[in-house]
């Protein structure tokens, strides 16, 4: 079977692209969501080499692998944002199961190599599921190595008794200690969003495995705060007076009626007081009130405090992902040898 690459044809390819992504992503997406995400992005990228000779700026490339009948069977998206670590390119590469081992993955990777080399990139970054040994082997044979392991956890809300969430009296203890819980809907507006941004700026960099820079306020607002499924009443905040000291942002997926912890963070000076546990409990109560089916999260294997909290609240481990990195020149050399 002959497989070749071509650029995306939009909006025509959105439906087929969403179907392919849904064979891999843990939360389903739609053609509409993909189109909306594209509308948020720049039309022309801008990259350059910084003072250290490393790739900086932002840009992206996308290609699909198609059959002779123009059926999309593979997809690669290589990109960097302004806050991506210098020299790095992030990559998503997917091939439909029945079309693997027919050269599509290699063609897609070669496009990344050519594009990244032209830009002056030095490091490629990607992720594979930890229960997909073939995908891991494909990456490792081409020069990638596992850098981190991230676990998914899920809580089936049908099995949670809301009264049980209050047994530790965590919320009462926190409130008696002078803290209060609110949502962004309770204190809307740019002033509150900027206070949240300052909280994210301090806590994002403490996440195990976080790389690059914290985006500026407008980009953070677009991609972190107001991600797909956002609502201000699901941005749960812990405050000490007017000071925001903890947050969890809970997104809702209408297709599955599931919720997802997009982010949970607590200021350094307030850690060790069970604020993160209180925020998780508040999120669980919110999800129960909204009759959500489940609530899901992702945690780095090195983030022991959050992993302990999730386990204590009844979250069950699911599959995880490996974050892999490779030197672009090594991947290019192996590709040139036909590996």
* All residues at 6 or more sequence positions from 28 whose CB lies less than 8 Å from its CB, including other chains: 22, 253, 255, 256
Distance separating alpha carbons of residues 261 and 249, to the nearest angstrom = 6
pLDDT number for residue 144: 98
| Residue reference for tokens 């002959």 | 2
**Three-class secondary structure of residue 303 per DSSP:** coil
Residue 165's pLDDT band (cuts 50, 70, 90): low
Give the chain's end-to-end CA distance (angstroms, integer).
20
Distance separating alpha carbons of residues 36 and 42, to the nearest angstrom = 13
308 vs 130, which has greater pLDDT? 130
Distance separating alpha carbons of residues 217 and 215, to the nearest angstrom = 7
The helices-and-strands tally (H runs, E runs) of the chain is: 10, 13
Does residue 27 surpass a pLDDT of 90? no
Residues in the chain: 339
Does residue 244 surpass a pLDDT of 90? yes
Model confidence over 109-163: pLDDT tens digits?
999 999 999 999 999 999 999 999 999 999 999 999 999 988 888 999 887 766 6
Bridge partners (DSSP) of residue 56 are: 48
Q: Which class for 315: exposed (0-12), middle (13-18), buried (19 or more C-beta within 10 A)? A: buried
Q: Which class for 284: exposed (0-12), middle (13-18), buried (19 or more C-beta within 10 A)? A: buried
Percent of all residues in the chain with a pLDDT value above 90, rounded to a whole number:
73
CB atoms within 10 A of CB 103: 17
Model confidence over 247-277: pLDDT tens digits?
999 999 998 999 998 899 999 999 999 999 9
Bond before 195 cis per omega within 30 degrees: no
Rg over alpha carbons for the chain, rounded to the nearest Å, is 21
pLDDT number for residue 143: 97
Query: Which of the 8 DSSP states describes residue 212?
Result: S
Residue 77's pLDDT band (cuts 50, 70, 90): very high
If we measure between CA atoms, which residue out of 338, 334, 291, 288 comes closest to residue 313? 288
* Tokens coding 169: 């009296």
CB atoms within 10 A of CB 267: 19
159 vs 206, which has greater pLDDT? 206
Q: With contact defined as beta carbons under 8 Å apart, do 227 and 219 qualify?
A: no
Bridge partners (DSSP) of residue 48 are: 56
* All residues at 6 or more sequence positions from 285 whose CB lies less than 8 Å from its CB, including other chains: 162, 165
Q: With contact defined as beta carbons under 8 Å apart, do 63 and 76 qualify?
A: yes
Does residue 30 surpass a pLDDT of 70? yes
């Amino acid at each position: 079977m002959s497989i070749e690459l071509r650029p995306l044809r939009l909006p025509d390819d959105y439906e087929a692209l969403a179907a392919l992504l849904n064979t891999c992503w843990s939360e389903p997406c739609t053609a509409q969501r993909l189109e909306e995400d594209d509308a948020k992005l720049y039309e022309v990228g801008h990259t350059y080499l910084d003072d250290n000779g490393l790739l900086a700026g932002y840009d992206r490339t996308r290609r699909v692998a198609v059959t002779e009948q123009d059926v999309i069977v593979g997809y690669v998206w290589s990109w960097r944002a302004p806050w991506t670590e210098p020299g790095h390119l992030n990559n998503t590469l997917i091939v439909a199961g029945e079309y693997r081992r027919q050269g599509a993955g290699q063609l897609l990777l070669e496009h990344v190599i050519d594009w990244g080399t032209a830009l002056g990139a030095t490091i490629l970054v990607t992720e594979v599921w930890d229960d997909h040994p073939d995908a891991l082997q494909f990456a490792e044979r081409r020069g990638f190595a596992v850098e981190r392991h991230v676990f998914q956890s899920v809580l089936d809300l049908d099995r949670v008794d809301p009264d049980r969430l209050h047994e530790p009296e965590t919320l009462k203890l926190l409130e008696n200690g002078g803290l209060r819980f609110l949502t962004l809907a309770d204190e809307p507006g740019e002033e509150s969003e900027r206070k949240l941004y300052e909280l994210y700026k301090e806590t994002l960099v403490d996440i195990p495995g976080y790389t690059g820079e914290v985006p500026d306020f407008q980009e953070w607002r677009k991609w972190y705060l107001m991600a797909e499924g956002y609502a201000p009443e699901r941005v749960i905040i812990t405050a000490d007076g007017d000071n925001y000291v903890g947050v969890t942002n809970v997104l809702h997926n209408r297709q599955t009626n599931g919720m997802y912890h997009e982010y949970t963070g607590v200021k350094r000076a307030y850690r060790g007081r069970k604020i993160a546990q209180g925020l998780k409990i508040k999120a669980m109560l919110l999800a129960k009130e909204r009759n959500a089916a489940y609530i899901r999260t992702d945690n780095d294997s090195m983030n022991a405090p959050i992993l302990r909290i999730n386990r204590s609240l009844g979250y069950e481990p699911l599959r995880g992902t490996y974050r892999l990195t490779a030197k672009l020149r090594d991947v290019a050399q192996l590709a040139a040898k036909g590996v």
